[in-house]
Amino acid sequence: QVQLVESGGGLVQTGGSLRLSCAASGRTFSGSAMGWFRQAPGKEREFVAAITWRADTTYYADSVKGRFTISRDNAKNTVYLQMHSLKPEDTAVYYCAASPGRATIIWSEYVYWGQGTQVTVSS
């Protein structure tokens, strides 16, 4: 089993940057693909980024491509989401998730989820 704890969220102005971290416990982290999803009030959960367990392939939603970067450090059991040029529409609760299978944009294929961290971008 994998337990995930996100951190790094907060309040930032438009154009600012944040780096989210997701610390994982459990022996399967290094074999898991990892993803970031977000959910804004009144909206469905949406895919943000994903990374394979070897970190050789990454995937991004079109809305964040070129602004966000997902990375991982398997020695530290941690996955990161570096966010630049933040916009008010990026405001949401951000969740990291682990998939024992492939990296995917489909949230239902992720088995383990963190509790989420709030990101608020002020205009």
CA Rg, the chain, in Å? 13
Report pLDDT for 67: 98
Report pLDDT for 28: 63
Per-residue pLDDT band for 102 (boundaries 50, 70, 90) equals confident
**The two structure tokens encoding residue 44:** 């469905």
- For residues 101 and 2, give the distance between their C-alpha atoms in angstroms, rounded to a whole number: 13
Report pLDDT for 22: 97
- For residues 13 and 106, give the distance between their C-alpha atoms in angstroms, rounded to a whole number: 30
- For residues 25 and 3, give the distance between their C-alpha atoms in angstroms, rounded to a whole number: 5
42-91 pLDDT tens trace = 999 999 999 999 999 999 999 999 999 999 999 999 999 999 999 999 99
